[in-house]
Amino acid sequence: MREKKIIVPICVVIVVAGIAAVPLSAVAQDGPPAGEAQLFESMKTEYVVTADGEFKTVEIEYELDAETYELMKIGVRSNGYDNVSAAIAANFSEKGEEIVKAEDKRIEGGYVIEIGFGTADPSHYDWNVTTTGDTIAAHKDTPFDPAAVGGLDEYETVVHMPTEIAQTNGEVSNGTTVTWNFSDGPPDNLSVKSAIESDADSGSDTGGDSNSSNSSSDDANDRIPGFGIIGAIAGIATLLALGQRRQ
């Protein structure tokens, strides 16, 4: 039996109280029940990588039609939030995430929900970022599957590296930016590598040993046990929209 059929009627309680890892995982991984209308038009995730192997900022954007947005807005307003992004951001603020942006933007035919996070450990987003000598590399083994969340038509991942990209399996633009488009399904992995300044050039200690910022930590697990932030946002939004449609 699909767990989310039980969860949806109490979606507002989940959104206000915080993220429940197992139920949200089920929603985001399985997608909406058969026969449900498409929830999201597109999604974009954008990362800015520092030379120290951290994410300086992470921005996640969801585009959805006006009808779905209004249904979600009814749910969040009944719980004291002015808009959808504010409700989503509140969940992550309570869990210790730094929120630097939360906006709902009107566009032709619908809305865009934008959530921005501050400095973060890449492991929170299932990335492995390593610095070895004069090289910094970012790798993601299991990319996010857009088909698993609300029937996304388009999904892009964008990574901004600190220096010119030397190797990647994505599409490079402006020398330091790489994009992966998931229109034909997620690739096997996401990988990008750049050269960084040596200790002598930068005056900083990058260290000669590999320094991975994707090591598992109790702190990361406490925030969203076994589940990435991207999927959690999608899970909350899915619960909001489906919950209002069924009322």
Supply the pLDDT for residue 15.
35
What radius of gyration do the chain's Cα atoms show? 19
Domain segments of the chain: what residues?
A: 4-246
Q: How far is CA 177 from the centre of its chain?
A: 18
pLDDT for residue 24 is more than 50: no
Q: How far is CA 185 from the centre of its chain?
A: 17
Query: Residue 47 forms beta bridges with which residues?
Result: 58, 159
Q: Determine the angle formed by the axes of helices 84-94 and 229-246, rounding to 10 degrees.
A: 130
- Determine if the pTM surpasses 0.85: no
- The whole-angstrom separation of Cα 123 and Cα 151 is 26
Locate tokens 């600190």: which residue? 162
- The whole-angstrom separation of Cα 105 and Cα 64 is 11
Supply the pLDDT for residue 136.
97
Report pLDDT digits (tens) over 109-165.
Answer: 899 999 999 988 898 888 999 999 889 999 998 666 666 655 567 889 999 999 999
Q: How confident is the model at residue 247 (pLDDT cuts 50, 70, 90)?
A: low
Report pLDDT digits (tens) over 166-186.
Answer: 999 999 999 999 999 987 777
